[in-house]
């Protein structure tokens, strides 16, 4: 049984390492980002973190501080928790909701190695597209030990559509309990046709296949890190950076270390830790679903470019080469 819980747009970006103008291979990559923009779900209204919590909250605090600094002289954020908390309802069919996810190993798990888990976390959640654009831009900063340093802006790597689905297949995964998948199919980069020679080297090196299916599991923020083998080997975020889920979400874990992403609202909290576990590179064969992207004959059809403008270099997206 397959139930589509959420669908929308998916974008992939990478950022070169600190002080590098561009990347020439996977060893030059500092971070791999996934941006999910849900457009519809089982419920048009999703629950997300309070906009005054997490990084989203720090932006509100900075704006308030700037506007009141002339009179107060000193207005500092005092929250000890950096993770998302609280509740705000968002109608994803009427306003944008974006999740910026960081993958710990700077790539997706190899789909040829079924059952391979990679850890990641939700870095940012916002209804303001400009906030994500700012996060993807380059910046400069000073450190006491290494002096002046700079980050290059992110590079656009892939664009497509995604679904989060609830699936139950006792024979394949040996469990009566339903699990959740994140599945996607790329629109860009386009597949080479005729005389076109699109290498897609960055995508291949970072395991961004044309389509993919991953089991997605949410880590219980209240569980202490386990020792030894298995999923417990992922160190995870510091306590202050972890999400603080509302009771109706936290209660779904019970005493378990991981839970399916059911509902997808878990992903609407900064500091939400997750596992993507490689499942299949053939969605139709595995799940009986066929994802269809809108065909675009030119780069102007890119929703990534329409959404993020010139924030990120599009050389990897359209030419399939490193930048």
> Per-residue pLDDT tens for 127-174?
999 999 999 999 999 999 999 999 999 999 999 999 999 998 755 555
* pLDDT band, residue 191 (cuts 50/70/90): confident
Cα(139)–Cα(129) distance, integer angstroms: 18
Per-residue pLDDT tens digits for 230-246: 454 678 999 999 999 99
CB-neighbour burial class of residue 312 (10 A; exposed 0-12, middle 13-18, buried 19+)? buried
Structure tokens at 235: 């160190």
Cα(130)–Cα(81) distance, integer angstroms: 24
53, 57, 58, 60: CA torsion to nearest 10: -160
Higher-pLDDT residue of 171 and 103 is: 103
Q: How many CB atoms lie under 10 A from the CB of residue 119?
A: 20
Is residue 68's pLDDT more than 50? no
* pLDDT band, residue 225 (cuts 50/70/90): low
Higher-pLDDT residue of 230 and 262 is: 262
Phi, psi of 221 (to 5 degrees): -70, -15
Q: Which runs of E-coded beta strand occur in the chain?
A: 2-16, 29-41, 45-48, 88-91, 98-103, 117-126, 139-143, 147-151, 155-167, 179-188, 211-219, 258-260, 273-280
Q: What is the pLDDT of residue 260?
A: 97
Higher-pLDDT residue of 34 and 70 is: 34
- Pick from 118, 162, 199, 127: nearest CA to 292: 162
Phi, psi of 292 (to 5 degrees): -120, 125
* pLDDT band, residue 296 (cuts 50/70/90): low
Q: What is the pLDDT of residue 190?
A: 87
């Amino acid at each position: 049984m397959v139930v589509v819980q959420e669908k929308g747009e998916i974008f992939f970006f990478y950022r070169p390492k600190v002080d590098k103008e561009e990347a020439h291979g996977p060893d030059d990559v500092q971070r791999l980002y996934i941006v999910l923009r849900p457009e519809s779900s089982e419920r048009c209204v999703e629950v997300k973190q309070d906009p005054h919590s997490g990084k989203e909250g720090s932006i509100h605090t900075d704006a308030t501080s700037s506007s009141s600094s002339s009179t107060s002289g000193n207005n500092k954020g005092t929250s000890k928790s950096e993770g998302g908390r609280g509740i705000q309802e968002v109608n994803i069919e009427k306003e944008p909701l974006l999740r910026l996810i960081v993958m710990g190993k700077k790539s997706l798990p190899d789909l040829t190695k079924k059952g391979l888990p990679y850890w990641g976390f939700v870095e940012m959640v916002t209804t303001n597209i400009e906030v994500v654009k700012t996060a993807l831009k380059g910046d400069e900063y000073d450190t006491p030990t290494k002096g002046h340093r700079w980050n290059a802006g992110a590079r656009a790597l892939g664009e497509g559509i995604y679904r989060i689905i609830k699936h139950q297949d006792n024979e394949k995964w040996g469990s009566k309990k339903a699990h959740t998948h994140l599945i996607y199919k790329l629109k860009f980069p386009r597949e080479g046709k005729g005389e076109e020679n699109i290498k897609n080297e960055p995508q291949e090196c970072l395991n961004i296949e044309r389509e993919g299916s991953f089991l997605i599991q949410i880590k219980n923020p209240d569980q202490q890190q386990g020792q030894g083998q298995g999923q417990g080997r992922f160190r995870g975020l510091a306590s202050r950076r972890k999400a603080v889920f509302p009771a109706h979400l936290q209660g779904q874990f019970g005493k378990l270390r991981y839970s399916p992403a059911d509902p997808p609202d878990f992903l609407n909290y900064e500091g939400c830790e997750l596992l993507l576990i490689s499942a299949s590179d053939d969605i139709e064969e595995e799940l009986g679903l066929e994802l269809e992207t809108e065909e675009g004959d030119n780069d102007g059809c890119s929703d990534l470019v329409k959404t993020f403008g010139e924030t990120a270099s599009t050389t990897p997206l359209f030419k399939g080469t490193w930048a």
